[in-house]
Amino acid sequence: MTPTQTFSPARFEFDRDLIERLDGSGPRYTSYPTADRFTPAFDEGQYLHWLRQRSIGANSKPISLYVHVPFCNTVCYYCGCNKIITKDTSRADTYLDYLEKEIALVSDALGHREKVIQLHFGGGTPTFLSDAQLTRLMEMLRARFDFLPEGEFSIEIDPRKVGRETVFHLASLGFNRMSVGVQDFEPAVQQAVNRIQSEEETLTVIQAARDAGFRSVSVDLIYGLPLQTTASVARTVDKVIAMSPDRIALYNYAHLPTVFMPQRRINEADLPTPQVKLDILQNSVEQLSAAGYVFIGMDHFAKPDDDLTRALEQGRLQRNFQGYSTHADCDMIGLGVSSIGKVGPCYAQSQKDIDLYYQALDAGHLPVMRGLTLDSDDILRRSVIQALMCRFALSTEAIEEVFNINFAEYFAEELPRLRALQQEGLLTFDGDFLMVEPKGRFLIRNIAMIFDRHLRERETRARYSKTI
């Protein structure tokens, strides 16, 4: 029997001793190289070059669009997103004016109407936009792009600001997937992070999505927040399971107050200890598994019939800047302040400062702040890391054929570290096939980091989150 026949990527084992011993900090690998490796030397001219390459047939696959909406009504103290806190909705009208300029510049560079297989509105709070503003934004996109009927079109929702009518309006605009921010239902925790949100508000939005015909609803939770205990998070997880979302993301809170100013309002003394955080994670994983959710990878869980689960089982799972996906192998164009795109062998990130973003567009330029054109080594290592993060297996023969290398020679420096993790039981590697063992699933970032040449050779000022 071949390794692929005996290997099940959905199997996992929570080895508490191993996780405690090997836990450290590292990238989440929503891209490789990671965003902290992007450079200001990558400019608008280089980005335009790769956009134009699509028009001459460099890549005929449909594209993905990401639109960043930076506005929020209130600040959640745990948040590390690029955001602008305001209650002035007229600022969104100005922002849409500039988004329209950016969409036109990108579309002109592409040279033809691209087909869109995936759309995601992130933020900030995308539903800071009114129904009329959301309609305008979708009309701007549809004026320049063709949305495929089988596409996945998702939006992040704040249930505190969205009612049933808006959910139906989103469905009428073509959205079919929804991500609902919850984080925690405990009143004391909500107070500590300045996000007061009732179960009723949340359930109303989820039920409206089902009634409106959304294909999938995802709920986001965070563990490691102030005042959380194993028992309190268990209550929240039970409540979420009762709501029966299609997907659940259980994120590890990274407390980096020197990087994210709102986190300075969190009392560090109220944060659970690393031991308690691991208790919370272990207990939550057991709860979700008992409820029938499949562990997709890192912090994602999904129902057995969800597209993510099917993609995992069929070896089609991908990973992009929004996390696990079924369409990440396509080019992704980022729109809006701080957005990141991937086109051909390059990554491009827009200005993070909204005034600089506006200035560039006023001058008729794409607001590129930094980026990177990957070399052949980057592309090879990206393929290896993507296989590990998404398929939890790697065929060295396939890599050798695609990239015309000898795997053992090319990765001679990495092999001793692989063997060390093999001794720990995280993986098996016979020279031809690498398989992540069930106890290695929760430490997949540790395995992927072995192949990160930039992490080994170049220092970075980035502060990475804990791998668990």
Please, what is the Cα angle at 390 between 149 and 282, to 5 degrees?
115
Sign of the CA dihedral with 408 first, then 410, 416, and 420 last:
negative
pLDDT for 275 equals: 92
Say if residue 220 carries a ligand binding annotation.
yes
pLDDT for 328 equals: 61
Say if residue 151 carries a ligand binding annotation.
no
Same domain, 66 and 164: yes
The predicted model gives 137-158 an average pLDDT of 96
CA distance 257 to 255: 6
CATH number at residue 437: 1.10.10.920
pLDDT for 340 equals: 96
Percentage of the chain beyond pLDDT 70 is: 94
When comparing pLDDT for 290 and 7, which is higher? 290
> Is residue 183 in some structural domain?
yes
Same domain, 22 and 41: no
> Is residue 345 in some structural domain?
no
Q: Say what the pTM is.
A: 0.92
Same domain, 9 and 97: no
- The residue written with tokens 């980026």 in the block is 371
Same domain, 257 and 303: yes
Say if residue 46 carries a ligand binding annotation.
no
Domain range for 380 is: 3-26+375-457
The predicted model gives 383-403 an average pLDDT of 93
pLDDT for 185 equals: 97
pLDDT at 126 over 50: yes
Q: Which of 311, 335, 359 is the endpoint of a domain?
A: 335
Distance (Å) of CA 92 to CA 181, 349, 380: 21, 21, 41
Q: Which of 84-98, 125-139, 319-333, 355-369 has the lowest mean pLDDT?
A: 319-333
Q: For residue 127, what are the contacts with CB-CB under 8 A and spacing of at least 6?
A: 134, 155, 156, 157, 158, 161, 162, 166
CATH number at residue 227: 3.80.30.20
Q: Which of 285, 306, 335 is the endpoint of a domain?
A: 335
pLDDT for 388 equals: 93
Say if residue 35 carries a ligand binding annotation.
no
> Is residue 265 in some structural domain?
yes
Same domain, 304 and 407: no
CA distance 235 to 192: 17
Say if residue 422 carries a ligand binding annotation.
no
Count of domains for the chain: 2
pLDDT for 1 equals: 34
Same domain, 148 and 223: yes
Distance (Å) of CA 351 to CA 254, 358, 385, 463: 24, 9, 28, 20
Same domain, 66 and 210: yes
Model confidence at 58, pLDDT cuts 50, 70, 90, reads low
Say if residue 80 carries a ligand binding annotation.
yes
Say if residue 30 carries a ligand binding annotation.
no
CA distance 89 to 103: 21
Say if residue 183 carries a ligand binding annotation.
yes
Say if residue 78 carries a ligand binding annotation.
yes
pLDDT, tens digit (0-9, with 9 covering 90-100), for 425-463: 999 999 999 999 999 988 999 999 999 999 887 766 555
> Is residue 41 in some structural domain?
yes
Model confidence at 334, pLDDT cuts 50, 70, 90, reads very high
Same domain, 214 and 303: yes
Q: Which of 106-110, 263-267, 314-318 has the lowest mean pLDDT?
A: 314-318
pLDDT, tens digit (0-9, with 9 covering 90-100), for 210-241: 999 999 999 999 999 999 999 999 999 999 99
**Burial (CB count <10 Å: 0-12, 13-18, 19+), residue 2:** exposed
pLDDT, tens digit (0-9, with 9 covering 90-100), for 11-33: 788 888 888 888 777 888 888 99
Say if residue 123 carries a ligand binding annotation.
yes
Say if residue 164 carries a ligand binding annotation.
no
Contact by Cβ (8 Å): 114, 63: yes
Same domain, 187 and 123: yes
Q: Which of 335, 361, 385 is the endpoint of a domain?
A: 335
pLDDT, tens digit (0-9, with 9 covering 90-100), for 59-114: 678 999 999 999 999 999 999 888 999 999 999 999 999 999 999 999 999 999 99
Say if residue 156 carries a ligand binding annotation.
yes
Six token digits for residue 287: 């709860």
Say if residue 349 carries a ligand binding annotation.
no
Specify which residues 332 forms β-bridges with.
Answer: 64, 342
pLDDT for 407 equals: 96
pLDDT at 2 over 60: no
Q: What is the mean pLDDT of the chain?
A: 92
pLDDT at 290 over 60: yes
3-state class (DSSP) for residue 38: coil
